[in-house]
Structure 1
Amino acid sequence: MSDATFEDGAEKPLRLKALDGEDLGVLSGLIQDAIFPATEIKWDRTARRFAILLNRFRWEDAPKAEARNRTYERVQSVIVIEDAMAVQSQGVDPRDKDMVLSILSVSFDKGTDGGGYVELTLAGDGAIRVQVEALEVILKDVTRPYGAPSKAKPEHDA
């Protein structure tokens, strides 16, 4: 049996779960450059569930788009953080209907007894920190892919 590759998921919706830091690193790469309005951030204290509906760049499809000279794609996805006990943010106002945010990375700062903090680093010095009892993060594509409005692949300075 071999490890999965980006190409394995290129034509199918992603449905992934991270239960450790290594898994979360994979999810972080897949949602890098995802954009979302601040109004799509939801925290259900009773259910202990934090979620964001985001527009994810399809990194797993980018090599095919380049090889076939076709438009890059995005897809609406939801990222869900289970066992969320507390949420803190910096530079984020979930009531601001005009605020659009972009995810740079997601990491886990391990605490004691399996708990810790899931940290979403956002462009423009923003951040969201979710205290969790245990690490369980789910990424699920919820729509069909669509052509990236910018028609460009996100670029980053080295």
Structure 2
Amino acid sequence: MTQPARLRLLAEDADDLNVIAAALQDAVGKIGDISYEPTARRLTLALNRYRWEAKRGERVRAALQLGSVLKVQARKLRRGAKDAVIELLSVSFEPGEAPGGVVTFTFAGGGDLRAEVECLDVVLADVSAPWSTSRRPQHEA
């Protein structure tokens, strides 16, 4: 049996980021899987994303990395709760001084993570084989 193609996306503008945001909608992870490296100016999130593009219910381990990060701020995300599960609802970009701005990750329960970036430099890559899940994310109308 052939393995499904692993997703690899690059975003350099807001339209590209919208594609990545759609692929990441309803991804789940742990607070401990968020890493900010100020000297490297890099923010990394490891998540289990729902494969909306698959014909059956699947999740896959994926890594999202932002480059050119100047500052990161978290609200309602307890850094000490490394095993706390988070569910990503959306990713958005608010332009600032061109080509920079703020990338905001909004999580269920009201938490968010804001990354001030010098420019949009975002990579999303699947890093594992997918696995089956019977739990399809549901949204209220």
Q: TM-score range by the shorter chain?
A: over 0.9
Equivalent residue pairs, number = 139
> Identity of aligned pairs, percent?
40
Say which structure is richer in helix. Answer: 1
Q: Distance in 2 between matches of 1:147 and 1:37?
A: 20
TM-score, reference length from structure 2: 0.95
Aligned equivalent of 1:41: 34
- Secondary structure of 1:17's aligned partner: strand
Question: Structure 1: which 4+ aligned runs deviate by more than 3 Å?
Answer: none
Say which SS state the counterpart of residue 23 (structure 1) adopts. Answer: helix
Say which SS state the counterpart of residue 19 (structure 2) adopts: helix
In the alignment, which residue of structure 1 is the partner of 2:49? Answer: 56
Cα distance in 1 for partners of 2:71, 2:5 equals 33
Match of 1:12 in 2: 5
Shift of 1:34: 0.4
Report the Cα offset of residue 95 of structure 1.
2.3
The residue type paired with residue 91 of structure 1 is K
**Map of 1:154 onto structure 2:** 137
2:88 corresponding residue in structure 1:
103
- For 1:81, which of 66, 71, 77 is the aligned residue? 66
Determine which of 91, 108, 113 is the counterpart of 2:98: 113
Q: Which structure is larger by alpha-carbon Rg, 1 or 2?
A: 1
CA distance in 2, matches of 1:86, 1:28: 20
* Shift, 1:76, TM fit: 0.3
Equivalent in the alignment of 1:5: none
Aligned to 2:120, the other structure's residue is in SS state: coil
TM-score (norm 1): 0.85
